[in-house]
Amino acid sequence: MIRVAAVGDVHLGVDTRGTLRPSYESIAEHADLLLLAGDLTRLGTVAEGEVVADEFAELDVPVVAVLGNHDHQSDAEDKIAALLADRGITVLEGSGTVIDVDGTRIGIAGAKGFGGGFAGKCGHAFGEREMKAFIHHTEDVAEQLRTALLGLSADVRVALTHYSPSADTLRGEPPEIFPFLGSYLLAEAIDDSSVDLAVHGHAHYGSEAGTTAGGVRVRNVAQPVIQAAYRVYTLEPVSTVPE
């Protein structure tokens, strides 16, 4: 059994330094790894990135993160990713990693994701170059996610994004803003890749539980949704599920 802890949208800043760390000191009692689903900072500055590193570095479990839109606000996303990596936090952007938990390989592929909307109610790459750029960005990150997921050699697979792959977990948000909260293109990549769980954040007023159209379980772990330091989900490799 793998115990996956996850949280997103912690929005750390210099004004919240040290506030989260106490809740993670005992995480190894509850989980085997921790996933951070983006929006780790508020303004996306390097100073805020350093707060994130101080809060999550050197925990007793591996920490794997993607960045979110807030982490891009100051055009310092590459610096933030680098400083988190320097502190031992794995940052994914169209890439994957495999962690061995007592002989079981859990593979995580991650990407920020982007918007565009959901099947039948979405934008298209047509018209103004700004509109085409918007949708092409989503297409690009979805394809990177698909490639990263398919490249995982693992017993259990998790997709980690900031934006949502499912409208299910946006319940509670105004439907008019769904195209800014996620894209079905992310779900298509997930459904093509034998994924056991998809984890995202971004939708503060959304719902925790949903599925992709292909039946993969999706969990929105935005901290305003889960109202906790993290959620824990238990997974099992298919080959070891008792009959």
Partner 1 sequence: MNVPQYDVAALRRALAEDPRTAELGVHVRIRGDQLFLSGDVACEQRRAAIAEVVTEHTDGMVLHNEVHIVRAEPPTEQEDLR
Positions that interact with partner 1 (CB under 8 A) = 1, 3, 10-13, 15-16, 19-20, 23-24, 26-27, 30, 42-43, 70, 73, 196-197, 204-205, 217, 219, 223-224, 226-236, 241
Q: Least distance from C-beta 138 to partner 1, angstroms? A: 19
Residue closer to partner 1, measured from CB, 71 or 188: 71
CB of 205 to partner 1, least distance (A): 7
Of 144 and 156, CB closest to partner 1: 156
> Which of 10, 109 has the CB closer to partner 1?
10
Closer residue to partner 1, CB minimum distance, 68 or 94: 68
Helix axes 184-191, 129-150, angle to 10 degrees: 20
Residue 100 dihedral angles phi and psi, to the nearest 5°: -90, 120
d(CA 66, CA 24): 18
What radius of gyration do the chain's Cα atoms show? 17
Q: In angstroms, what is the minimal distance from the CB of 229 to partner 1?
A: 5
- As measured in angstroms, the least distance from the Cβ of 235 to partner 1 is 6
If the CB atoms of residues 31 and 91 are measured against partner 1, the closer one turns out to be 31
Q: How far is the CB of 126 from partner 1 (least distance, A)?
A: 27
Identify which of residues 144 and 173 has a Cβ nearer to partner 1 in the complex.
173
CA angle 61, 73, 87 (to 5 degrees): 25
CB of 23 to partner 1, least distance (A): 5
